[in-house]
Structure 1
Amino acid sequence: MKTKFAIFMATIALGLTTSLSAQAETRVTFKSAKTSSSYYQMAVQLAEAMKKGSDGEVIVTVEESQGSVQNVMEAAKRPGNYVFTTPPVLVKLAQKEIAMFKGKGNPKFSEIRALFPIPSLTMHFVVRADSGITDFAGLEGKTMLIGKGSFGAKEGTKYLKLFGLEGKVKQAGAELNAAVAALKNKQIDGFVTAGSYPAPNVIEAAASTGVSILSLTDDQIKQTKRTRLVIPAGTYTGVDKDTVTTSLPVVAHATTQMDDDTAYLLTKTFWTQKENLGKDTAWWNAVTPKMLENVYGKLHPGALKYYDEIKADVPEAIR
């Protein structure tokens, strides 16, 4: 009888321990990007960093996405601890019900709140070091691989038009994944890519061929209506001066359905783990609290609590 009672009490104790353990865990769904993209890789890195930095208190499940528009649309219907990445401009478009969100408005879009910035999509106009090209005017008559369909391809085509080069630059009919080999074999003079710097394909091209990266003037940046960004000298082998280019900021968001304690924990864990993230992959090193100025709308109150604790310079408009 005593043995049965002991087993019974042990079972209750085990169940209670398991229950308390489950309650201690904060489970988060992280909607990212296509599995083939660098942003999906970032999401996986963030999930690992959150688990490590919170001693297992935060468990992040990464979900594939077809893109930022889908991420924003799902914010209107996903409950609880839903985190997603998107350029802040899409939050603006959703809340104003314009462009791709026309006719798809939802009051819940007003409940989107920012947590922390992640690496920006950064434009790279890469040319062979021996091509003699030093500025955009020098692209006239040259062959560039721009690719199709991607953000970088669309931006690259737009910039050529803005800078008076439409129809004056030969475009190689190949996919972007062929760019490094084509550059090395001198089949092209350069290529256009957008990704968080340092971009893997630019690293490879710089190491194997030698490249230059074109800088934009202040007037050109103004024409693009994108965010100015400087890629520091030495980021890529052989590129020994700063590169002034454009970027599309990207931010991790939640909604007001996430409680303040969870938002605080996620934000604090991100920033305390960022140095370790940067040791593993250099693109995290470009992320700083200054990038909070790219946020559209408001910070989550839990995130704001952390930024105030570390005395970050938070723009008044996003408080």
Structure 2
Amino acid sequence: MLKSKKFLVILAVFMILAVVLSGSIAAQGRTFLSIATGGTAGTYYPIGGAIASVFNNNIEGMNASAQSTGASVENARLIYNQEVEVAIIQNDIASYAVAGENQFEGNQVTNMKGITALYPEVIQIVVRADANIETMEDLKGKRVAVGAPGSGAEANASQILNLFGITYDDINEDYLSFGEAAGRLSDRQIDAAFLTAGIPTAAVMDVAATQDIELLEFSDSDVEKINEELPFLTGVTVPAGTYSGVDNDIQTVALQAILVAEASLSDEVVYDMTKAIFENRQSLVDAHSRANDITLDTALEGMTVELHPGARAYFDEVM
């Protein structure tokens, strides 16, 4: 009887070890990825979610998920700290990060590599139509959302305001995410908001559905001045009808959203990721219209960091 019980205990131990071992082996055969995006009311989050789905559906053993974050500056720091494997970042912020400049002085991000350019990110200065804001100078004394702390939008807001001789001392600044800024505009608690995102931006559409808005427009000379000081920013047009009530084309500036990877990701994994994006592009387009801008012809436009060898290998094959 004792021998029988002893045998059963040993058998149970072996079975538990077998389950643990098999689970370990299965885990070793999977690749877990966190993709840092932005706030849920912006463009990064839905695009990042669509990219995660493409990876999961087309790369064997892949388990990718999109993570909502404070966007570009925070995403660069998450890559630096190896807290995420992939991130969407503005190309100007990525450039500052790898060079250790501006916000990254003393904290150079040396482990960031590029995968592909994604789409233009348009700087939109959304104002309430009744706020009497026609020019940048009119923002003085107004309540202005400048972006979430640690976001590329906030960095852009500060840079552009400074180019026009305006500091945060001249405005009542509020550090808000896209969703928060939309809510405050709708509730008439702020007068204007800086947003840097692909168009149409969900947060702006939400505001336009509840009240009259306008987009602050830059003149040709404004665009020239901005581009001279901030070469990442180039002139673009927000087409009439992009948002309810915005009935004329609006000239503003834009930069580029890029997809980056933590440098230690294997060449094979990054090759598979890059291939999956371009061979399943329609799935991305079906998820968000901004993905129409993700093409092989523009894959390297605005790429401000060195390509990951895995991405380079794919582009060498198809270009």
Distance, in Å, in 2 between the alignment partners of 1:223 and 1:121 is 19
User: C-alpha displacement at 1:132, in angstroms?
Assistant: 6.7
What secondary structure sits across from 1:208 in the alignment? coil
Paired AA for residue 270 in structure 1:
I
What secondary structure sits across from 2:292 in the alignment? helix
What secondary structure sits across from 1:292 in the alignment? coil
Contact 2:271/2:310 (8 A) holds in 1:
yes
Distance, in Å, in 1 between the alignment partners of 2:199 and 2:318 is 26
User: C-alpha displacement at 1:119, in angstroms?
Assistant: 4.6
Paired AA for residue 163 in structure 2:
L
Distance, in Å, in 1 between the alignment partners of 2:299 and 2:130 is 35
2:254 aligned with 1:247 = yes
Task: Name the residue aligned to 1:264.
Answer: 271
Task: Name the residue aligned to 1:210.
Answer: 212
Paired AA for residue 200 in structure 1:
A
- Normalised by the length of structure 1, the TM-score is 0.68
Distance, in Å, in 2 between the alignment partners of 1:174 and 1:97 is 24
Task: Name the residue aligned to 2:117.
Answer: 117
Alignment of 1:48-59 (within 5 A): 48-54=53-59, 56-59=60-63
What secondary structure sits across from 1:294 in the alignment? coil
Distance, in Å, in 2 between the alignment partners of 1:305 and 1:100 is 32
- Normalised by the length of structure 2, the TM-score is 0.68
User: C-alpha displacement at 1:115, in angstroms?
Assistant: 0.8
| Uncovered stretches (5+) of structure 1, i.e. residues with no partner | 1-14, 312-319
Residues 201-259 of structure 1 deviation map (CA, whole Å, 9 limit, x = unaligned): 21012222232212323432344414224434432223344433233433222355434
Aligned length: 287
What secondary structure sits across from 1:126 in the alignment? strand
Contact 1:89/1:296 (8 A) holds in 2:
yes
Task: Name the residue aligned to 2:86.
Answer: 83
Cα RMSD (Å) = 4.2
Paired AA for residue 209 in structure 1:
Q
Paired AA for residue 233 in structure 2:
T
Find the partner of 1:292 among 297, 300, 303: 300
Residues 14-65 of structure 1 deviation map (CA, whole Å, 9 limit, x = unaligned): x9xx89x9599651423415675743454333211211234x5532245566
User: C-alpha displacement at 1:270, in angstroms?
Assistant: 1.3
Task: Name the residue aligned to 2:157.
Answer: 156
Distance, in Å, in 1 between the alignment partners of 2:172 and 2:220 is 26
2:59 aligned with 1:60 = no
Paired AA for residue 208 in structure 2:
A
Task: Name the residue aligned to 2:144.
Answer: 145
Distance, in Å, in 1 between the alignment partners of 2:182 and 2:263 is 44
Distance, in Å, in 2 between the alignment partners of 1:187 and 1:201 is 16
Identity of aligned residues (%): 20
CA pair 307-169 structure 1, distance change in 2 beyond 3 A? same
Structure 1 runs (4+) deviating above 6 angstroms are none
Contact 2:126/2:213 (8 A) holds in 1:
yes
CA pair 308-99 structure 1, distance change in 2 beyond 3 A? same
Distance, in Å, in 2 between the alignment partners of 1:237 and 1:288 is 29
What secondary structure sits across from 1:279 in the alignment? helix
Paired AA for residue 49 in structure 2:
V
Distance, in Å, in 2 between the alignment partners of 1:149 and 1:69 is 15
Paired AA for residue 62 in structure 2:
V
Task: Name the residue aligned to 1:200.
Answer: 202
